[in-house]
Structures are given as C-alpha cells and as structure tokens.
Amino acid sequence: MVDQLTFAQENRERIQAVENSFGGSGKPLSQLGRVLIGEGRLMKQSRRGPQPKAFFLFNDVLVYGSIILNGRWHKRQQIIPLEDIQLEDLEDGVRMRNQWLIRTPRKSFYVGASSYEEKRAWIEHIEDCQSRLLESSGRTLGSKYAVTWIPDQASAVCMRCSNKFTVTQRRHHCRKCGFVVCGACSKKRALIGHIHPTKGLRVCKVCHSSLSKRESEEEAQETSRVRGDSTGKTGSDEDEVEVPSEEEEAEEQMEDHDPSRWVDSWSPYVYLKPEHVRP
C-alpha cells in the first residue's frame, strides 16, 4: 500500500512537471489513471528537415513538442491518442538512422532515435500501451491515416507542373498525396474527413480531380440506393489520405532552427519502471 501511494505521488509530480514545461500554451495532462511511461528526445522529420523534439509516452497518449531554453521548456504541444497511432519499422535512411514511421489520421511523420536499442524500446512500449488500451476499451485501430509530406528540399521543382521554385514561387504541400507543389497547382480545396471534418484543405489539381470523381460516384451510388436500385456499391477506396492543416503548415514554416537553443540533439529514452505501465 505504501509503495502504491508513493508511486501515485511520484507519477503525479512527473506528469505535472511535463505539463508545466509547456507553460500556458499547453493543454492539461494530469488525468485520473494516466501514467507517464517514459520520455526522451527523437529527431522528427519536418518539411524543412530533421529536428529534435521532446517526446513523452503515457499509458494512453503520446505527447511531443519543440525544445526551447536548453531543453527546460517546450512549445507547440501535440497530443496523440494511442488508439489513433499506427507504427511502421523502417530501415536506416540517408538523413535519419534508427527511424520509424508514426501514422495518425491527421498527421504522419518519421522519427529517429539515437540507437537501435532506443528505437526498439520506444516501439515496443508504445505498442504495449496501445494493446492494453485497445483491449480495455474494446476498440480497434482505424484504417485511414494521413500520408507523410515530402520534405521541401526533396524537389527543386513542382512535382505536378515541373516549374522551378523561387522566392516568389513558394512550395506548398498537397494534403492528399503529400507532393511538393506550386501555388498554381494547388489552388483547389477538398474535404478530407479524417484530417479535418469540416474544413477544405489544400490539394493538388490531380488529387482534386480524383476526389471530385469519387464524390460524384458516391453521390450516384447513394441516389441509386435511395431509389431502391439493387446495384451494389462499386469503386475502390482511395489511397490513404494525408497530413496537417494550414495552421500546422504555418507552424512548420515558423519552426526555430537555431541549434544554439538546443543542448543535445539526443537524450536517452527514460523508461521509468515496468510496473508503471499500470497505475
């Protein structure tokens, strides 16, 4: 009993410390039954290249944010329910080693650890917490996830019309395919429900045509169904759709890249104790 009370108090203090590190801009993290499993720094692939981020694994959510003031404070807090996460192990890349892919309905991105052992610890602990959560809730993983954005530096030209990017010809990203495209090729907007249920998001002209065609087919099928048409539903599912909203793209563009504000790109993943998996 004493050990349980001690653990509960220590857990509350750890969660409060994480919550306080985000200041007034972060959302409250203290919640009944929530346990902080581990924390550490990972390199996250953004549109401008790999950046160090602070990650915190809880028994029900994954939280991450940008690192400021020598790692003592964080900003741009992101909270992802573990039920919404799909992980994919990957081979080492040219720009990032010990990497894996984190897919969510709203945003998907690559992260890399400082060592293979640390990478395996993150993946195994996330999957373990996720399986316990799904088992207790009776839920299953979703099927629609955002695609990853192709980094800005991966293409010097629009991936649709091949026009060269310049100071005035800015890069944009299609939320449907993740391609780097120019403004002229991404004037259209489309509703992508699992990214944003009500707001039209920037898409390239090719994806807009594909989505419009699919929408027309679905409307025709619905009309046939209402009229009592016995014809079954045809047409296949579209490719899994994609990533962040306009606000998130703006945040990526404003990301602070001054290395002097970070202590170390890496800090070891700290797995607290095996018994911390459960309150």
pLDDT value, residue 228: 60
Alpha-carbon distance 182 to 4, whole Å?
57
What does 98-115 look like in DSSP terms, one character per residue?
SEEEEE-SS-BEEEE-SS
Residue type, 252: E
Enumerate the β-bridge partners of residue 66.
53, 75
Residue 100 has pLDDT above 70, yes or no: yes
Overall average pLDDT of the 39-44 stretch: 94
CA neighbor of 246 nearest in space, from 153, 150, 143, 107 = 107
Residue 242 has pLDDT above 50, yes or no: no
Which of 124-147 are b and which e, b meaning 16 or more Cβ less than 10 Å from the residue's Cβ? Answer: ebbeebbeebeeeeeeeeeeebbb
Count of Cβ atoms closer than 10 Å to residue 239 Cβ: 11
pTM of the model: 0.72
Residue 257, Cα to own-chain centre: how many angstroms? 20
Q: 201-221 pLDDT, tens per residue?
A: 899 999 998 888 877 766 666
Local structure of 30: helix, strand or coil:
coil
pLDDT value, residue 49: 81
Alpha-carbon distance 81 to 263, whole Å?
29
Domains in the chain: boundaries: 2-144+256-277, 152-220+236-243
Alpha-carbon distance 18 to 34, whole Å?
13
pLDDT value, residue 275: 42
Distances (CA, A) of 48 to 160, 180, 237, 250, 256: 20, 12, 31, 12, 10
- Average predicted confidence (pLDDT) for the chain: 79
pLDDT value, residue 240: 36
CA angle 37, 113, 273 (to 5 degrees): 20
pLDDT value, residue 139: 80
Q: 117-164 pLDDT, tens per residue?
A: 999 999 999 999 999 999 988 887 777 888 888 888 888 999 999 999
Residue 42 has pLDDT above 80, yes or no: yes
CA neighbor of 202 nearest in space, from 183, 218, 216, 219 = 183
Take residue 254 and report the two structure tokens written for it: 């404003």
Alpha-carbon distance 168 to 223, whole Å?
45
CA neighbor of 42 nearest in space, from 16, 10, 66, 75 = 66
**What does DSSP assign to residue 76?**
E
Alpha-carbon distance 184 to 163, whole Å?
10
Which of 36-61 are b and which e, b meaning 16 or more Cβ less than 10 Å from the residue's Cβ? Answer: bbbbbbbbbbbbeebbbbbbbbbbbb
- CATH for the 152-220+236-243 domain, from 3.20.20.450, 3.40.50.150, 3.30.40.10, 3.40.50.11780: 3.30.40.10
Architecture of domain 2-144+256-277: Roll (2.30)
